[in-house]
Structure 1
Amino acid sequence: MPGSLQAGIDGDHIVKRLKELAGKEEPLALVYGSGFESQPELLDELARHFPLAGNRGEVVRRVKDPQTFAAICSKAGIPHPEIRWNAPEDPENWIAKKAGAAGGSHVRHAQNAVVSPGSYFQRFIHGRSISALFIGDGRRARLVGFSRQWSSPTPQSPYRYGGAVRLLRFDRKQAARIGEWLSTLTAHLGLTGLCSADFIQAEDNFHLVEINPRPGATLDLFDSTEAPLLDAHIDPAGGMASRLPRWSGSTASMIVYASRPIERFPALDWPDWVSDRQLPGTRLLAGDPVCTAFAHGANAAAARRTVNALAKLMQSDWDGVP
């Protein structure tokens, strides 16, 4: 673990840097995001030095082990796409994934996949991508809300994460059924804090694809200053009873990627509806993320249209830069 370099995260460096940042102060909690799923041993190491919010390494191991997760879903009667380790005879009906990976960039069509250690196959299901944000306390789950996600495909990464939009309305019976599933999984897996569940909706049927056992890309779509969701993440027991955020209209977020290499990223006067901004002078490759754009709308469709337009507007600021 310490000294390893996986998924771009150096265990020794991050522990040392966090200790420097903390100084002599005991931090309230350390909140981690995407990128740690393939390194649960790093979470174990971080938990030895800091109070860790959310799920520990042993929980992440169970959630991100494809065979264990599929077995739990099967036992609980939760629809989950079939998985297998060996290449299927009908690859056109399957996708290839890497255990512990996140973000969609690792997902390939099975017929185009290069199988490597940790790869597995999951049956492809046609439908819409729906995500449920929830709070777990180790025994039950509390739904925060639903969002619809979309991809930003490239020839190499056909399922690269593109963005998401918060849904204003969701069928109550379907929401109740999904809530029961998530409570069952929370009890089986010991999930705590903010997590998200990714589904494929095929007509009225929902198929659970995976659980992300940490705050994810949709957190900002649901958060509010009046009821901060990170409070519920740090104190899941309190979050199960506290007031959830209220919203008017819908919000969408979208990752804006570089369409071509940029030798030195320019200094920009960034608008306030942008976050995760690249630093001036950074060298970018085609496909590297540049920023995340946000937009509000009266409904989900309007919010998505607006964020698409804003993303195109932002791209014009660096498209002409060599």
Structure 2
Amino acid sequence: MSGETVLIAAFSGRSLAQSARRAGFEPLVADAFGDLDTRQAAGDFRVLDGAMPTGFRTKPLIAALEDLSRSAQSKPVGLVLGSGLEDKPRLVAALASRFNLLGSGDATYKACKDPHSFFARLDRLGIPHPQTQTAPPADPTGWISKRIGGSGGRHIRVCHGPQAAKPRRYFQKLIDGDRISAGGVFTPHGNTVSLTRQWISPSAEHPFRFGGCVSTPELEDGLRGTIINAVDTIAGDLKLRGMASFDFIVSENGAANLLEINARPGASLDVLDDSKGRMFAGHIAAWIGAGLPLMEEKTKCAKTMAILHADRGQVTLGDIPWPDWSADRASPGTFIPQGAPVATALAEAPTADAAEALVRKRLAELEDLIYGHAKS
């Protein structure tokens, strides 16, 4: 490693860039925000304006990555993808044809996101999941619809009244319960898997919007083992390599229902990585054939992250004295539409419950700080 350059492409490349830097790489980042802390972690960066509302487009993203490669002090070891490409397998294929893709290819993305093949695979493997179909339900009560390849929960809609079939959406029976995610690094020689508890931050327009997650949730050993066994089973069947995350919902009867897989680093990277960036180092090792680095011994502290959304209204950021525990810090003058993500709060505490309580307190403080320094 020792300063080797690596390309990163994601809607927000901040957490990946910071993990890469901790692992000893020099990250070269193309993302949609260009936040202050992303720029601090990156050796170089390119901002793709307009990518967040419209999605990445092939030519601008490839041009940005090629420009970063040309400007690099040494040839990048490869390209690592984050969020923003789950519904664009053709773009993933185009990137793989031009760069050394250190991550899942378009076939794996399709296998994870196509509702026909994915839930049929779960049935074959005996892994529970919510009732799912592409045809509209006869009675929409208790159903939701999801966009194929969507992430972050903003694409999920509650079904009200008669539904029409749409080529890019599918329908799923809503299950109430605890949201548990499994994140880790996967290789043919073994996996490292850790669990987090997630929660939503609902708004009127986006009732299932992702809110945050916390590490070391208190779970019964049997449930923990069931989830990890399911993860190992499906990861082996899909031949997953590198970082990936699995989202479950644990129903009242204790069944762990698998909702989706993201075959790339997830939002839990902030709470699962260690001070040496071993999640990122493990991801690289999984693709170049090296052994997995050992994670640091787990501490008694739980780590958590939570996203602040602009629910008070649209805001233009002023010159904010960002707290040390904040992340995804946008530059002064950045315009944030109502409901869009503004920044991230981080926290640690002795237990998962205490860490979640602290990060929620910090979210309120961060909201007051941002709106108090807003430009008129």
TM-score by length of 1: 0.92
Q: How does 1:181-196 map to 2 (within 5 A)?
A: 181-196=230-245
Between 81-90 and 308-317, report the one with greater CA deviation. 81-90
Query: Could you tell me which residue of structure 2 aligns to residue 88 of structure 1?
Result: 137
Give, in whole Å, the separation in 2 of the partners of 1:154 and 1:65: 27
**CA offset digits 1:2-60 (Å, max 9, x no partner):** xxx89421211111111111116321221111110000111111112222122111110
- Mapped partners of 1:179, 1:135: distance in 2: 13
Task: Quote the Cα distance in structure 2 between the aligned partners of 1:262 and 1:89.
Answer: 39
Deviates more, 1:142-151 or 1:213-222: 142-151
Q: Distance in 1 between matches of 2:211 and 2:165?
A: 24
Which residue matches 1:97?
146
- Please give the alpha-carbon distance, in whole angstroms, between the structure 1 residues aligned to 2:220 and 2:209: 28
Query: Which whole-Å CA distance do the structure 2 matches of 1:140 and 1:80 have between them?
Result: 27
The equivalent position to 1:226 in structure 2, one of 265, 271, 276, is 276
SS in structure 1 opposite 2:335?
Answer: coil
Listed one character per residue, the Cα deviations across residues 258-295 of structure 1 (whole Å, up to 9, x for unaligned) are 12444531121212211111221112211111111101
Provide the C-alpha distance between the structure 2 equivalents of 1:130 and 1:110, rounded to a whole number of angstroms. Answer: 24
The Cα of 1:253 is off from its aligned counterpart by: 0.4
Could you say if the C-alpha distance between residues 263 and 199 of structure 1 is closer, same or farther in structure 2, counting changes exceeding 3 Å? Answer: closer
Q: Secondary structure at the match of 1:215?
A: coil
Q: 1:70 to 1:140 in 2, by over 3 A?
A: farther
Residues 81 and 122 in structure 1, CA contact (< 8 A), matched pair in contact too: yes
- Corresponding position of 1:269: 321
Distance 1:232 1:239, change over 3 A: farther
Instruction: Specify the alignment match of 1:259 in structure 2.
Output: 311
Query: How far apart are residue 155 of structure 1 and its match?
Result: 0.9
Task: Return the alpha-carbon distance in structure 1 between the equivalents of residues 292 and 102 of structure 2.
Answer: 18
Match for residue 224 of structure 2?
Answer: 175
The CA RMSD over aligned residues, in Å, is 2.1
2:257 alignment counterpart: 207
Structure 2: distance between partners of 1:256 and 1:140 = 38
Change (3 A) 1:143 1:81: farther
- Return the alpha-carbon distance in structure 1 between the equivalents of residues 339 and 189 of structure 2: 39
Residue type matched to 2:216 in 1?
L
Show the counterpart of 1:244: 295
% identical aligned pairs? 33
Q: How many residues align?
A: 317
The superposition leaves residues 77-107 of structure 1 with CA deviations (integer Å, 9 ceiling, x where unpaired) of: 0001111122212322211101011100011
- Alignment correspondent of 2:44: none
Pick from 131, 146, 152 the counterpart of residue 181 of structure 2.
131
Name the structure 2 match of 1:317.
Answer: 369
Match of 1:282 in 2: 334
Deviation of the 1:191 alpha carbon: 1.2
Bigger mean CA deviation after superposition, 174-183 or 10-19:
174-183
Contact 1:40 1:60 in 2 (8 A): yes
- Equivalent residue of 1:20, what SS? helix
Aligned amino acid, residue 303 of structure 2? T
Secondary structure at 2:118 match in 1: helix
Task: In structure 1, list runs of 5 or more residues that go unmatched.
Answer: none
Q: Which residue of the partner structure matches residue 9 of structure 1?
A: 56
The one of 285, 297, 304 equivalent to 1:235 is: 285
Inter-partner Cα distance in structure 2 for 1:183 and 1:14: 33
Please point out which of 291, 308, 312 is paired with 2:343. 291
Conserved? CA contact 1:128–1:202, under 8 Å: yes
Deviations 1:197-239 (A, max 9, x none): 1001124210111111110100110111235210111112768
- 1:135–1:239 Cα contact (<8 Å) kept: no
Q: TM-score, normalised by structure 2?
A: 0.79
Candidates 349, 352, 356, aligned match of 1:304: 356
Displacement of 1:241: 4.4
Deviations 1:99-145 (A, max 9, x none): 011100011111277864311101111111000112222x4762421
- Contact 1:249-1:296 at 8 Å conserved across structures: yes
